[in-house]
Amino acid sequence: MNGLNKSRIVIGFLAFLMVIKLSAQDITGSWNGVLKVQSVEIPVVFNILKDNNVYKSTMDSPSQGAMGLPTDKTIFENNVLRIEMSSLGVVYEGTYEDKLIKGVFTQGGLPIPLELTKGKYVQKVKSQEPSKPYPYLSEEVFFENPKAGNIKLAGTLTIPKGVNNPPVVILISGSGAQNRDEEILGHKPFLILSDHLTKKGVAVLRYDDRGVSKSEGDFSIATSYDFADDVEAAVSYLKTRKDVVDIDKIGLIGHSEGGLIAPIVASRNKNISFIVLLAGPGITGKEILLTQTRKAFELNGVDAESIQLNEKYSKKIYDACLDYKGENSKNEIIAILNEMKNNSSETLKDQLTEEVFQQKIKTITSPWMLTFIKFDPKEYLSKVTCPVLAINGEKDSQVLPKINLSGIENGLNIANNKDITIEELKDLNHLFQTSKTGSFNEYASNKETFSPVALNLISDWINARF
């Protein structure tokens, strides 16, 4: 064998070893990166494991509060990773190189470069979050809801130092399973709000929603009325704490859905001294869904024809839910969705899969959603006679300010309420962050968690009365 052939054999053998080495590369673990969409940064995490030589993975979107989302297919061959997730129309394909995976994240046909680094994603602490030790007392508490099988709810009671019998407020979170800080998209609005109010001389009780964190119960089957029962359990608990708060000055602060729940409680519980509605609904649930969807589409540049098409069929679906009759209504909704698909563009048709339909049916016919669609806040606002502060951000794209603030004021006027304060705050979004457009896409990247303007308005209004 001549030298040339020997060289070829050696080179071939080294290449073979390199292929083995590359193929054996361990990619199990967490890989994280950041999607950059215009001026918005969205962190993404893929959690990869290997079971019997088969790769599996889940996806996290920490800034959107979505964790452990299952994927359909995970393949790693010839140094190329491919992950598919049909439920969200997501495909990621990247090449392992120099301890990085460099590739493209595609969703709904839109390709976005995404470079992944191995390791756990670390959420950055927002600048407004307070640091321990706090200049006030902070106590973990537990209380039971007798209307829900005595489930225990866990929370934090913060008490001002040097203030005798301060007024106390209960914070009521927005829709979705929330912890006591109302943690969402990397922000902790209720932590910021409770810290501010306690420093201003107002005690605060905030708690984990049922079934969340340290609280017992099943969140998935609960409705706004169940959550109102949880609030009343919190009120009953505070009535036992005359050692640290003024039990005759108990108020409620509700954000978003919490601003719907607070009037329910205040209309039937005369122990409530005041309520603050933060982006609370003033129109029916059906109208909330239609107006917020239209606004979201407009902010994302969706064409008018597509918006009208969506609105036309959404109204039909919500009307079917208003008179919900189990399987018959589900079949009616499926027929409406199929009609919508047949009248949609080719791009949209590809996205309206059977899996998407089933997920839509599951969401729209959940106990919470069926209750929300039918809900009319006027029924309860018209019975609220305690002082009310209702504020909304000018750029709120989820609970549109003018139509909802007007609805709240009209409902309270029916009750002949003598102490009503209505404010629309310039440039603030649904989370009460200073915002450019109010789009959902800005929430996570915003460095501000809660505008000082809104915080001071809330504390000044309470202290002026109590």
CATH of domain 136-283+377-465: 3.40.50.1820
Residue 253: strand pairing partners: 171, 276
Distance from C-alpha of 263 to C-alpha of 284, rounded to nearest angstrom: 14
354 contacts: CB under 8 Å, gap ≥ 6: none
- The per-residue pLDDT for 355 is 78
End-to-end CA, the chain:
99
Question: 422 with 388: CB under 8 angstroms?
Answer: no
Instruction: Bin 65: left if φ > 0, else alpha if -120 < ψ < 50, else beta.
Output: left
Distance from C-alpha of 343 to C-alpha of 362, rounded to nearest angstrom: 23
pTM of the model: 0.79
Tokens describing residue 109: 């046909």
Distance from C-alpha of 261 to C-alpha of 259, rounded to nearest angstrom: 6
- The per-residue pLDDT for 9 is 41
For the chain, which residues make up each domain, given as ranges? 25-118, 136-283+377-465, 285-372
pLDDT digits (tens, 9 = 90+) for 8-26: 444 444 443 344 344 457 8
Q: If you search the block for the tokens 């609805």, which residue do you land on?
A: 407
Distance from C-alpha of 157 to C-alpha of 166, rounded to nearest angstrom: 12
- The per-residue pLDDT for 267 is 97
- The per-residue pLDDT for 6 is 41
Looking at domain 25-118, which CATH architecture does it have? Answer: Beta Barrel (2.40)
- The per-residue pLDDT for 302 is 85
- The per-residue pLDDT for 36 is 82
- For the chain, residues with pLDDT lower than 70 are 1-24, 38-40, 64-65, 108-109, 124-125, 347-348, 351
Degrees, nearest 5: CA angle 323-310-443: 100
Q: Report the 10 Å Cβ neighbour count for 389.
A: 22
Q: From residue 135, how far is each of 138, 159, 171, 369, 452 by CA, in Å?
A: 9, 10, 20, 41, 19
